Amino acid sequence: MCGLGGIIRMIDPSLASAHTPIPEPWLDVLDGAVSHRGPDGGGRFRDHFVRPDGGVIEVALVHRRLSIIDLADGAQPMVRTVGGRRLAVAFNGCIYNHRALRAELVRLGQPFESSHSDTEVILAGWLEWGSGVFQRLNGMFGILLWDGRSGTFVAARDPFGEKPLYGVMGASASAFANVPRALERLRPMLPGYPRAADEHASIEAANTLYFGAVPWVDSFQGIAQAQPGGAYSNAPGARQAGEPLFAGLWRVCSHPAAGHRSAKRLSKSEGTADSIEEMLESSVRERLEADVPVAALLSGGVDSSLVCAVARRHKPDLLTLCVKMPDDRYDESGYARQVAEHLGLRHETVTAGARPADDLVHLVELLGQPFGDSSLLPTFWACRAARDHAKVLLTGDGGDEVFLGYDRYRAIHLLRWMRFVSPMLWLLPKAGLREIDPKSGVARFARLIEAAKGRGYADLVAVFPIRDLVKLVSERIARRAGTDRDCGSELYWDLFEHFPDVLLRKVDHAAMVAGVEVRCPFLDHRLAEVALRLPVSVVCPLGERKGLLRAIARRHLPPAIVDRPKQGFAIPIGEWFRNNFGGLRDLLGDVLGTADPFPKAKLGVEIDLSAARQMVAEHLEGRRDHSQRLFMLLTTALWCRSAV
């Protein structure tokens, strides 16, 4: 888990003799913006390649390290010269099969200088397999790699998108980083950087408000997030390597599952509870390796509890941690302790140390983007509290997405039927469907009705469904937001678009600000490939939510844990806005009370301020619940006022 940035610049032959190196202030900008991700070390790298036509390809890398594996020999950017071929890599993440890959590469004759660095495996793998190395990596990664012999620069990320990677493309220079704030600050310095047309910028901003986060298929303010499984390369023929991504990004990795869930026949040994448990055990075992303390975040839910049960076989002294939330209704620490006692594990309940208003300002400043999921706060509190006990944390993230654990999945067929009879839905009285308590059955039914009237599943998961978005931005722009999203396969969309945009981005950012590495065993690509080939009837037998995984969990956990209702990692953000817990109501009023909290010059779209303030009034007076929408407006305004 590290901070990284890189710049690649193309210099025409006519200008090559007079060109100056990539300015050091450009690297200072990148380095300063990613420094919080790597408190244990840092470095820079420069090189250039002279093309046959006399043009020059110049590259510079910066890196900030959070040391986890091979503390002594894993410094980055890692540079190796093999047979006169100079290679360099800046890497964020962890390669879980690095030892197996190293053994294979040694047999093939590749030299190594470190004792067990997973970073060096990437370089040796590039020498042996070229771009094929990315398909052999089992892990989470954002990678910037330079091959000085051919002048090839590659930026790649893992298939699920656990590790972020963003890029901006100028006329002669492109830059990459795993923090959007770095590129927001660098972008104006790049020569010939194309500015987005007003119409395009407005739609990008509206998409961000609609989904509650910047979708990876968009470039928000000219900063685009690489698609999960995507990579950029300037090498000849790179554009023929796969599907086009944004502005020169091309896929060289693939998703864990290339298609939708289907009833495709599996072998007798695949897809059974025994085989799934065996693969989960392999995934957990690999993620326990580190040269620093490893613990597990235990909520007392099925996913994290099962991860801990499996981890105990390989690490009997595993420490489990649960964070006590400031609101008892959202606190699961009692369940977590029950699981730890049942498994015989060491357990600590730590306090959140919550400072909601101050923490939110800090998180938005470092993220450098608006963000609409308020569980960012408790995720950060959990990681920050756990940092005193361990530097690596196992979690149950991904279990709900891969094994269909969300309640909303059970509403998909009902939603489709409701959309079929949607003209009749307009006859329902709105007065009886007031959304005051977001967890109430009435509120959930109201959201389902409105989604059926609107865009179906996309509106159901949106922060600003279409009926609210049209109040905030012009109807013409609002109607175009989200129109390029195919929700025909809701489960696939959830896993490969919504999941990386929101949950994985939240976890990565919260963990990095806290200075810990989070590992998610359920996102092992081998496990996911099998699970995503299973038909829904196998994953959820008899309609039981996450039934296959629960069947495995029943082998190791008490029924009171396996069968309890899903609670989720959340906070009562709506109530906190009303009662000013942690200063949130004051912060909301101060930020949205300014003359222009959403300047179009920065946001890219004109916000109807009166509509935004009307939402605040409706919520504070208890007439309607706008919990997550107010959180999105607040983080957007905080980002707008942050220094560039």
DSSP calls for 154-201: EEEE-SS--S--EEEE-SSEEEEESSHHHHHHHGGGSTTPPPPPHHHH
- Residue 552 and residue 579 in one domain: no
**CATH at 187:** 3.60.20.10
CA angle 369, 357, 398 (to 5 degrees): 55
For residue 286, is it within any domain? yes
294 inside domain: yes
8 Å CB contact between 567 and 301? yes
- In terms of DSSP bridges, do strands 223-225 and 230-233 run parallel, antiparallel, or are they unpaired? unpaired
In this prediction, residue 432 carries a pLDDT of 47
Task: Tell me if 36 sits within 8 A of 178, measured CB to CB.
Answer: no
Contact present, 214 and 226 (Cβ < 8 Å): no
Residues 66 and 205 in one domain: yes
Interhelix angle for 198-211 vs 627-641, to 10°?
140
Q: Is the domain of 540 the same as that of 607?
A: no
CATH number at residue 525: 3.40.50.620
- Whether residue 257 is contained in a domain is answered as no
Residues 483 and 521 in one domain: no
Domain count, the chain: 4
H/E segment holding residue 74: none
Structural domain for 632, as ranges: 572-644
Tell me, what's the pLDDT at 232? 67
H or E segment to which residue 44 belongs:
strand 41-50
**pLDDT (0 to 100) of residue 580:** 96
Q: Which residues contact 497 (CB under 8 A, 6 or more apart)?
A: 215, 216, 217, 485
621 domain residue, yes or no = yes
Cβ atoms of 372 and 635 within 8 Å: the answer is: yes
Domain-located, residue 149 = yes
Q: Nearest-CA neighbor of 180 among 480, 588, 600, 501?
A: 501
d(CA 313, CA 309): 7
**Could you tell me if 46 and 166 lie in one domain?**
yes
C-alpha to C-alpha distance for 272 and 276, rounded to whole angstroms: 6
Write down which residue in 488, 508, 529 finishes a domain.
488
277 and 421 in a single domain? The answer is no
265, part of any domain: no
Q: Which amino acid is at 141?
A: F
pTM value > 0.85: yes
Residues 156 and 199 in one domain: yes
Tally of residues, the chain: 644
Query: DSSP labels for 225-290?
Result: EPPTTEEEE-STTGGGSS-B-STTEEE-S--SSSS--------TTSSSHHHHHHHHHHHHHHTT--
How confident is the chain (644 residues) per 10-residue block, as mean pLDDT?
91 84 96 95 95 92 96 94 92 96 97 96 96 91 93 89 86 88 89 67 90 80 73 57 31 42 58 93 97 96 97 96 88 94 95 90 94 95 94 96 86 73 59 58 74 80 92 91 64 81 94 96 92 88 90 96 86 95 96 94 93 96 93 97 72
Domain final residue pick, 528, 562, 596: 562
Q: Tell me if 260 is assigned to some domain.
A: no
Signed CA dihedral, 369, 372, 376, 377: sign only: positive
Question: Which residues make beta-bridge pairs with 59?
Answer: 8, 47
Q: Are residues 283 and 295 in the same domain?
A: yes
Residue 104 and residue 79 share a domain = yes
Residue owning tokens 């990459």: 176
Boundary residue ending a domain (444, 473, 488): 488
* 82 and 215 both lie in a single domain: yes
Is 438 inside any structural domain?
Answer: yes
Task: Please tell me whether residues 153 and 226 are part of one structural domain.
Answer: yes
Say yes or no: 502 and 584 in one domain.
no
User: 557 with 342: CB under 8 angstroms?
Assistant: yes
Q: What is the CB neighbour count within 10 angstroms for residue 491?
A: 19
Strands of the 219-220 sheet, one edge to the other: 41-50, 56-65, 2-11, 173-177, 166-169, 223-225, 219-220
Q: What's the one-letter identity of residue 429? A: P
